[in-house]
Chain A
Amino acid sequence: DVKVTQSSRYLVKRTGEKVFLECVQDMDHENMFWYRQDPGLGLRLIYFSYDVKMKEKGDIPEGYSVSREKKERFSLILESASTNQTSMYLCASRLDRDEGEKLFFGSGTQLSVL
């Protein structure tokens, strides 16, 4: 089975801190995604990457950046954390665009910014 691992299950940070959320997948998937999930708002796409060193903005990229230096790893960076970035962050991967519907999700990182 595909395994998508997010480095932290819970994270507490202070306003203004730089925050790194790490995601690793073990099935050689080409595509990786970062979503945030908030009650009543569902899953919203922050950034995605179709290949190493490639990145594209999703629907809500403001305040975030990403890094994909290796195929298996996709990092989400909060340059200066703010309280409105308190959320559940979900990383996902898929084999490629031809397998576009089947995403494999990590267990999520619940980030609290105080």
Chain B
Amino acid sequence: GQSLEQPSEVTAVEGAIVQINCTYQTSGFYGLSWYQQHDGGAPTFLSYNALDGLEETGRFSSFLSRSDSYGYLLLQELQMKDSASYFCAGRNSGNTPLVFGKGTRLSVIA
């Protein structure tokens, strides 16, 4: 099965860069996804890495290294509105549902 580990909390300063790491253990692996959830809101899809390397979407980037069973989400030019919980997620194969990490709560401070 899948097991994904990520830090529980991260604090960073407005305008800075922050990296949220995710390591996984799985018998198979289909790629790594990232979701954002603001307090009281629904999780929303941010990005997906099927292959090794960096995927960039505006201020957010996501990285995957299959050989290291590791990925990260990089947030640049942090804004107060980026304060939220971030979840990494993965699945074993095309037929299995997503399994989520426990989430990282990001606090952006002035």
Residues on A facing B (Cβ under 8 Å): 4, 31, 33, 35, 40-45, 48, 58-59, 90, 92, 97-98, 100-108
Contact = CB atoms under 8 A, between A and B. Distances in A.
Closest 6 CB pairs of A and B: A42-B102, A105-B42, A43-B100, A101-B48, A101-B33, A102-B45
Contact of A103 (B8, B95, B98, B103): B98
Majority SS of interface residues in chain B? loop
Given A42-B102, A97-B94, A103-B98, A90 B42 contact: yes
Contacts, number: 56
Most buried by B among A43, A98, A107: A43
B45 A101 contact: yes
B87 A43 contact: yes
B42 A107 contact: yes
B41 interface: yes
A106 B13 CA distance: 31
Contact of B31 (A42, A45, A101, A103): A101
B45 A108 contact: no
Contacts of B69: none
Contacts of A104: 45
